[in-house]
Structure 1
Amino acid sequence: MTQHDSRFDAALLDAACKGDREAIIALLKVAQPDIRRYAKVSCKLQDVDDAVQESLWLVYNRIGTLRAVTSFAGWLFAIVRRECMRLMRKVFIKTDDISEFNDDPGLTYSHQLELRQDLSRAIQSLPEHYREVVLLRDIEELSVNDIALLLNLTREAVKARLHRARMMVREYLLD
């Protein structure tokens, strides 16, 4: 989906932003394939359907908060990305037993189970705003610019949170 995509003409987006229910529904129907494509790139395979459903619901409820019609594609992508992160965090937060991650190729870089458990607990112990930045940067490997855009923060704020979060993880692991 690009800004020149005729499926998302300015009139449809403008009407949806102003609360026109029919325009919102039409916009969601047209946007759903893009949402699914974004989710396939950003989420684990088993989370794609949940991410699509939640993203559609969020767009439906928050379309009125869109600041500029031309930023719809980026806004949509940010919603899907954030929903995928929420689903991923849910696994980290609710899991005390790290053994279910043994088959995940993204987490098999360390052969030391204790280190992975300690690191997982350290990340879980972070306040949510620090944990989110660490997960986005160090697990999802997003750039500072992407994180800033996604979380609606400045680059400096992202760097500061990331630095503080890493220091807190380091302190946790040293204790």
Structure 2
Amino acid sequence: MTIPRNAGRALGDETAFIAALKVGDEAAYEELVRTRGGRMLAVARRFLRSEDDARDAVQDAFLNAFRAIDRFEGNAQLSTWLHRIVVNAALLKLRTRRRRPEQAIEELLPGFLENGHLAEPASEWEKPPEDRVSRAEIRELVLSKVHELPEGHRNVLLLRDVEEYDTEETAGALDVSRGAVKTRLHRARMALRKLLEPHLKRSTG
């Protein structure tokens, strides 16, 4: 069974494309890698700062997808299914690599007074002028600061706020409790805001 070169993009006919994958059609496999590989690599890069690690995770994800394609029942879109697989591959890569020393989340959080209020009121963030900084630069800045968070908090933030996992899905992916997800997410958001504050706060001068 051979599919047209554009079948991977013509996802209105996704059923035929998946059928081709399930019978081991080589052209379908090539089309899947060609049309989905870039997006999967972007996902892996959000979790893995090493380009080699990110590419390895994508390769592992495709291998896992090819092995499991027979069990794909179409309850979700193929792109959603692949997204979950590459996220899992990236998380597995993180678990198996040597851990680096990390700054404790407590050191990144803003200070609080005894009454529970912030020691330093949060500044308003200005919208950067388009001619001064691009959205791509803002995304890169945010992602770089996300990667300054401890891994456990960083992964929760990425899964919940970027990959749009719900609390239950995040807990399952990271093998932690729902309560841990909620606590880590709250602290990660606070720490990230503090890290971004010097770059994005509105000038008072």
* Interval containing the TM-score (normalised by the shorter chain): 0.5 to 0.7
Matched, 1:30 2:35: yes
TM-score (norm 2): 0.46
> Given the alignment, which residue of 68, 82, 88 partners 1:76?
82
> Given the alignment, which residue of 14, 17, 27 partners 2:19?
14
- Separation of aligned partners in 2, 1:21 and 1:163: 44
149 and 15 in structure 1: CA distance in 2 versus 1, 3 angstrom threshold: farther
Counterpart in 1 of 2:46?
41
Deviations along 1:117-175, whole A, 9 cap, x unmatched? xxx9xx9xxxxxxx8xx77436x4626x605685796xxxx9x8233799xxxxxxxxx
Segments of 5+ residues of structure 1 without an aligned counterpart are: 112-119, 124-130, 167-175
Counterpart in 2 of 1:116?
none
- Separation of aligned partners in 2, 1:71 and 1:149: 20
TM-score (norm 1): 0.52
CA shift, 1:108, in A, is 7.0
Matched, 1:56 2:65: no
CA shift, 1:68, in A, is 0.7
Kept in 2: contact 1:59–1:76 (CA 8 A): yes
Matched, 1:146 2:165: yes
- Separation of aligned partners in 1, 2:88 and 2:169: 7
Q: CA RMSD in A?
A: 4.2
Kept in 2: contact 1:137–1:147 (CA 8 A): no
Seq. identity, %: 15
Query: What amino acid does structure 1 have at the position aligned with 2:177?
Result: R
Structure with higher Rg: it is: 2
Range with greater deviation from structure 2 (70-79 or 24-33) = 24-33
> Given the alignment, which residue of 148, 157, 162 partners 2:178?
162
Report the structure, 1 or 2, having the larger helix content: 1
CA shift, 1:72, in A, is 0.6
For this pair of structures, how many residues does the alignment match?
Answer: 129
164 and 31 in structure 1: CA distance in 2 versus 1, 3 angstrom threshold: closer
